[in-house]
Structure 1
Amino acid sequence: MTFLQPSYLWGLLGLLIPIAIHFWSRKKVQIIKVGSTQFIAQTKSKQSKSIQINEWWLLVLRCFIIALLVGILAVPQITTTVPRLDVAYVFEPSLLATAEGRARFQQIPQQGRFLLTEGLPEWQEYTLVEEGNFHYWQLAKEMEQLPADSVVVFVHAFAKAVKGKRPTLVKNSTWIPVDTEAEISKPVWARVKKDSIEVVAVYSDATTLSFSKTPIAENEVRRNASQDSLEVNTEEGGAYIPIYPEKEIKVVMVVDDGFETQSTFVEAGIKAIARYTQTDITLEKRTPSAELVFPESDYIVWLSDAVLPETTAKTLRYRQDILAHRLIEPGTSPTDFIWTKELNTNVVLEEDWVGHLLDWFALDTDLVAQIQEEDIRTLSGEQLQTKVAVNTATIPNIATANVSGWLWMIFLFLMIGERIVASLRKQ
């Protein structure tokens, strides 16, 4: 057995406490003078010894409880030796989800197969694992704990699953892309326009991710019974996609004296976004006042030194910050944002002011998230390979199991027993 926090073992010095209490709490002998002892019953020696034994058992019980608590705090773990493999094979779960997918890997030994998901569980035939959001680099670090000298990883090589810094591993790993020639082309949602319905379709393959918008006359579409979905034809057959109403956005820009130039750049950026996204954006200019309220505003641009009134709308306040890294930074709440630099022609062109403003509007957040789900752009095998540490060390073939949970149950049982014994012995 090993301990993750061995420094807590110094707490075993607490065993001196119940020992000291036991000796200090012994009743002092009281001498009583009597005239005759013929009427005093002699104490049975066996009963006296029993009393002493019971008190000693109580002392041992208390000492054991303290030692057990110290051991739990030190986080004990049981180590066992596990068999070590020459090569471990790790599969992205969707590659083994179908019989056709499993047939491609028949030549690979069944022993030593693991799934590329949290915890890297060992794969057994007919194992069903829900494939959630993950990224390859994070799971690559967990491969260090696999009982094998090297690892071969079979993945779809999705570019969206590669995030963060490329890890450096002690274990040799080889990443092999599979199914990199697939492609997706399907409609994902529709938006109601004034005289038609606009269908948004996404296309993705190993190198491309794009979407297109196709207007369809209202009398040429078929809706479901609740009128919130549109029937479309796909490669798999008929399907329904959600219908969203046309967006009508109201922006209120509060402009104080001295901010007219900045308001001009903001107004030009909003008009460009409205044309680019084909969104109906209404811009209203106001001056700050004590009675200013925003009952129906979706967005507020605050160009004033006055205090911004409380509002539930998404706000953009102008406040220069020379240490900021972006033109628009998050503020003090999820709906509060700060515009950090004075605008001029160079800033607007070189730092992409309209792009930052478009990100702040976040008009198509739902659409972007759905398009990213259909993103199947891939990386090459060379781009997926992890770094190998120069000074490699052999990872011991041991497995550890935390036994703290069982010890807590024993501790609770002993505490109850100690209270019962102490109550009976009046200790």
Structure 2
Amino acid sequence: MTLLQPTYLWALLSLAVPLVIHLLNKGDVRTVKVGSVKYLKEFDTKQSRKIRLNELLLLFLRMLILGLLVIYLAEPRWKKDTEKTRITYLIDPILAQEESFLSFMDGLTMENPRWFSKGFPEYEAEIDEPGTPNYWQLAQQLGEVSSDSIVVFAKGMVEGVKGPRPKIPQNVDWVVIDNEQKVDTYIAAKKFGDSVRLFKVKGNSQLTDLQTTTLSQNDRRIVTTKQDSLELEEADENFKIPFLKEDTLNVTIAFDKKYEREMQYLSASLKAIGQYGMQEIQVEKVEDNAEFEQGKPRDLLIWLKEAPVPNIGSATIAVAQDSLANELIEETTTKNNFHLTERLTIQNTVAESLTNTLAKLLLSSDSLNQKVKEYDHRVIPEAELATNFSTEKVDRKDIRYMDISPWLWLVLALVLVTERILSKLRKQ
């Protein structure tokens, strides 16, 4: 048996409380004076022995109740040995949408197929995880899979490779399923005075390119222009192209001098988002002791100060360094509140895709950035997707843990009922 919270065992010192109460609670002692006790014989009756036995039994039960509560708080887990499987196949959930791959799977005889998803559920289990998984983050959890060999069938999308390449003490064979989807489509338009700029995505499994074309609003290829879209005729085909929103985003960066470097990195990222997303972003910088306007409307507040974070009712990013965090900007338990978990450097801003993370927070689903991502079908080669193998010896046992807390509650209930019955019978 192992304990997830062994520090709670210090609470076992509370077992001394019932013992102290028992020793102090001897009842009222009354002295009776008699003339002579010479002829009185001292003897231990069966009834007196029974009383002492009941007192000790009650003491034991009460100490046992406290002990069981402490053990429950320590979160006990029972170790169960498990046998390793020879080979385990892990399948990218995105591949479940492709009939050709499912037909390929039906023709194979696989041992222990599982989904390449959090917890690695069985292949028969239903899974509903939209989007591309984080391949390398899941790879770090492969220690949970008890297998001599692991094969991962993955779509291999570039957007699924985030963060530094992991190093794990386990060989993994990656199989990237070919994706030859070609894209050539208009995704958005934007008005500039008397002209219109059209945005087209062209790409395949190797590249995704955003191309722009500027037309006069009187160009013969423009069939109709509405408030939210235009209709374009090209190569005897008509295309309905939505206009990008004209909303201006307001961002405030409040910073102390020690976080001036972070302010510069974040400002550069916001400038890139404004240019790429074709949406104006107004950045206000509040330095050191400059007055911060509490009620001013903002789409995002970046708080690089040691002072408490003000509540503005919209998205907020505050400095909160955390060496155990998995992401550079991590969402908290409070809605729209995020933490910047590291001091910014060139290395982590590039590796953790700071600009993309900010774009997700700021840009709506119909922004240019999000539209391009929908048509990004680039695939990373198998050699680039593979994780690094660690040669360090790891003392790892193939064990699983069973939660025995429900059984503890059952024993505790039985002991508590027994103690109450005995206490009532003995009036103690």
Same fold (TM over 0.5): yes
CA distance in 2, matches of 1:91, 1:360: 30
State, as a whole percentage, how many aligned pairs show the same letter: 29
Amino acid of the structure 1 residue aligned with 2:117 = T
CA distance in 1: counterparts of 2:279 and 2:19, whole angstroms: 82
Judged with a 3 Å threshold, the aligned counterparts in structure 2 of structure 1 residues 363 and 414 are, in CA distance, closer, same or farther, namely: closer
How far, CA to CA, are the matches of 1:123 and 1:31 in structure 2?
80
Q: Which amino acid aligns with 2:375?
A: E
Deviation of 1:67 (Å): 1.1
Alignment counterpart, residue 220 of structure 1, candidates 216, 223, 230: 223
- In the other structure, the counterpart of 2:384 is 383
1:165 aligns with 2:164: yes
Task: Give, in whole Å, the separation in 2 of the partners of 1:418 and 1:211.
Answer: 75
State the distance in 2 between where 1:145 and 1:211 align: 41
Aligned residue identity for 2:30 = Q
Deviates more, 1:59-68 or 1:105-114: 105-114
Moved more, 138-147 or 239-248: 239-248
1:246-285 → structure 2 map (5 Å cutoff): 246=246
* Aligned pairs for 1:197-212 within 5 A: 198-212=197-211
Q: How does 1:267-416 map to 2 (within 5 A)?
A: 299=282, 307=290, 310=293, 312=296, 331-332=304-305, 366-393=367-394, 395-404=396-405, 407=408
Question: SS in structure 2 opposite 1:149?
Answer: coil
User: Partner amino acid for 2:26?
Assistant: R
Name the counterpart of 2:326: none
Deviates more, 1:24-33 or 1:92-101: 24-33
Cα deviation, residue 160, structure 1:
1.8
Distance 1:381 1:424, change over 3 A: same
Q: 2: distance between equivalents of 1:192 and 1:27?
A: 93
- Map 1:91-130; keep pairs closer than 5 Å: 91-124=91-124, 127-130=126-129
| Residue of structure 1 in register with 2:82 after alignment | 82
Q: Is the 8 A contact 1:330 1:336 kept in 2?
A: yes
**Partner in structure 2 of residue 348 of structure 1:** none
**2 CA distance for matches of 1:75 and 1:249?**
47
Structure with higher Rg: it is: 1
Q: Give, in angstroms, the shift of residue 33 of structure 1.
A: 6.8
Deviation sequence 1:359-392 (CA, Å, 0-9, x none): 9999977321332243222221111111112134
Tell me what 1:254 maps to. none
Give RMSD over aligned pairs.
5.0
Q: Which runs of 5+ in 1 are unaligned?
A: 36-44, 252-268, 282-297, 316-328, 338-355
Residues 245, 279 of structure 2: 8 Å contact kept: no
Q: Secondary structure at the match of 2:164?
A: coil
Please give the TM-score of this superposition, normalised by the length of structure 2: 0.62
Contact persistence 1:193–1:245 (CA under 8 A): no
* Structure 2 match to 1:60: 60
CA distances 1:4-28 after superposition (whole Å, capped 9, x unpaired): 3445445434333312322321214
Would the aligned equivalents of 1:312 and 1:335 in 2 still touch at CA under 8 Å?
A: no
Deviations 1:12-67 (A, max 9, x none): 343333123223212144245799xxxxxxxxx99878766654453233211221
Please give the secondary structure, in 1, of the residue aligned with 2:149: strand
Task: Give the corresponding residue for 2:180.
Answer: 181
User: Does the aligned pair in 2 maintain the 1:68–1:411 contact within 8 Å?
Assistant: yes
Letter in 1 for 2:116: L
Note closer, same or farther for the CA distance 1:128–1:278 as it changes in structure 2 (3 Å cut).
closer
C-alpha displacement at 1:221, in angstroms?
Answer: 3.8
How many residues end up aligned between the 2 structures?
A: 344
In 2, Cα distance between equivalents of 1:133 and 1:85: 27
Q: Report Cα offsets for 1:394-421 as digits up to 9, x if no partner.
A: 7423211233466467658866886787
- Which residue number in structure 2 is paired with residue 14 of structure 1? 14
* Distance in 2 between residues matched to 1:15 and 1:278, nearest whole Å: 64
CA distance in 2, matches of 1:75, 1:239: 61
CA distance in 1, matches of 2:57, 2:395: 48
2:377 partner amino acid: I
- CA-to-aligned-CA distance 1:109-151 (integer Å, 9 cap, x gap): 3431111111121211x73332345321110011111010121
Offset at residue 155 of structure 1 (A) = 0.9
> Structure 2 CA distance, aligned partners of 1:249 and 1:147?
49
Instruction: Extract unaligned runs of 5+ from structure 2.
Output: 36-44, 252-267, 310-314, 319-353
Amino acid at match of 1:382: A
